[in-house]
Amino acid sequence: MKKIIAFNWKMNPQSLGEAKKLFNSYLLLYSSSKKEIIVCPPFIYLYELKDLKTKNLKLGSQDVFWENSGAFTGEISPKMLKNLGAEYVIIGHSERRQNLNETDEMINKKILAALKTGLKIILCVGENLKTRKQGKKAVENFIKSQLQKDLKNLPLNSLLSKTTSRKGLSYILNSRLIIAYEPIWAIGTGNSDSPKDAIEIIKLIKKTLNSIFYILNPRVLYGGSVDSKNIKNFLQCMQCNEIDGFLIGSASLQPKEIKNIIKL
Ligand code: PEP
């Protein structure tokens, strides 16, 4: 399976002209890439970028609301996102969890609504520095608890009725649900996790998804200060095949970085 690289533009850039110019850096290089590339710009640029993109380049949004319509001022529904051209949606990014008090309960509602609409999900999980300092067991417990709360009540039955076996269910979930392990202390700090430690948590995430949600080969990305230099450490280490790709923030705004990452 191809590795996934999802680029999170966060709240950048400030104009549609700049967004189109930045997107062009991806379009120029995309055809030579051996990776599955997903670009997640701010909501307002999705529609215009959809018309520029080639078939294989995927678009994602950075958030979604859990209701389909109604009195929810300022929110964007899953269906609106689909109509705008988004195929993926990032849910539970730590910047939203921390700055906007987004809870696991809210994240769970978003996941269920997005899944129902047919959007594919990139769910972010990861511990803060305090938890990391408490040791491996604390990190494991934290991540497990996030997964259990965020993925509560997955509509296994309705998904299962569309297929014939657990294997089919696993396939559906596997292709619609990607997890990004993003230790909070590594995001936007320039201090990425070590491949060895990241892989340990990624393996734990896979084991948890497997045992609780019947997902056989879940795809788990690493995110947190990945750039064109340190990404090589994550691609060339022991057990690196456990990492199914990357979620990249700051470097996604720099044409030179984009070029060097996409061509890897
Ligand atoms: C992110 O926004 O998900 C992220 C990983 O950011 P950065 O690469 O800047 O750490």
Separation CA 90–CA 60 (nearest Å): 7
Is 192 near ligand 1, meaning CB less than 6 Å away? no
Question: What is the pLDDT, as a whole number, of residue 158?
Answer: 61
Average pLDDT over residues 85-96: 97
Q: Per-residue pLDDT tens for 54-79?
A: 778 999 999 999 999 999 999 999 99
In the predicted structure, residue 166 carries a pLDDT above the cut 70: no
For 104-143, give one letter per residue: b (16+ CB within 10 A) or e. bebbbbbbbbbbebebbbbbbbbbeeebbeeeeeebbebb
Which one is catalytic: 93, 95, 102, 127?
93
Question: DSSP character for 134?
Answer: T
5, 7, 10, 88, best to mutate for ligand 1 pocket (most atoms within 8 Å of CB)? 10
In the predicted structure, residue 161 carries a pLDDT above the cut 70: no
Question: What is the pLDDT, as a whole number, of residue 80?
Answer: 97
Is 249 near ligand 1, meaning CB less than 6 Å away? yes
Confidence bin at 3 (pLDDT 50/70/90) = very high
Is 61 near ligand 1, meaning CB less than 6 Å away? no
Angle value at C-alpha 83, between 80 and 86, nearest 5 degrees: 90
105 belongs to the catalytic site: no
182 belongs to the catalytic site: yes
Range of the domain at 20: 4-263
Question: What is the pLDDT, as a whole number, of residue 54?
Answer: 77
Is 187 near ligand 1, meaning CB less than 6 Å away? yes
Q: Per-residue pLDDT tens for 4-47?
A: 999 999 999 999 999 999 999 999 877 777 899 999 999 999 99
Q: Quote the ligand 1 centre to 131 CA distance (angstroms).
A: 19
Average pLDDT over residues 153-182: 74
In the predicted structure, residue 237 carries a pLDDT above the cut 90: no
Question: What is the pLDDT, as a whole number, of residue 159?
Answer: 63
Query: Which CATH number covers residue 57?
Result: 3.20.20.70
Q: Per-residue pLDDT tens for 193-235?
A: 999 999 999 999 999 998 888 888 899 999 999 999 999 999 9
Q: Which of 214, 216, 222, 226 is nearest to 4 (CA)?
A: 222
Separation CA 67–CA 113 (nearest Å): 7
Is 94 near ligand 1, meaning CB less than 6 Å away? no
Separation CA 79–CA 69 (nearest Å): 9
- Report the domain count for the chain: 1
Q: Per-residue pLDDT tens for 128-159?
A: 999 999 999 999 999 999 999 999 998 776 66
Looking at per-residue confidence, does 263 or 138 come out higher?
Answer: 138
pTM, 2 dp: 0.95
| Residue with CA at minimum distance from ligand 1 atom 7 | 249
Which one is catalytic: 95, 102, 127, 182?
182
Q: Which atom of ligand 1 is least distant from the CA of 187?
A: 10
Report DSSP letters for 19-86, one per residue. HHHHHHHHHHHHTT-SSEEEEE--GGGHHHHHHH--TTSEEEES---SSSSSS-TT---HHHHHHHT-
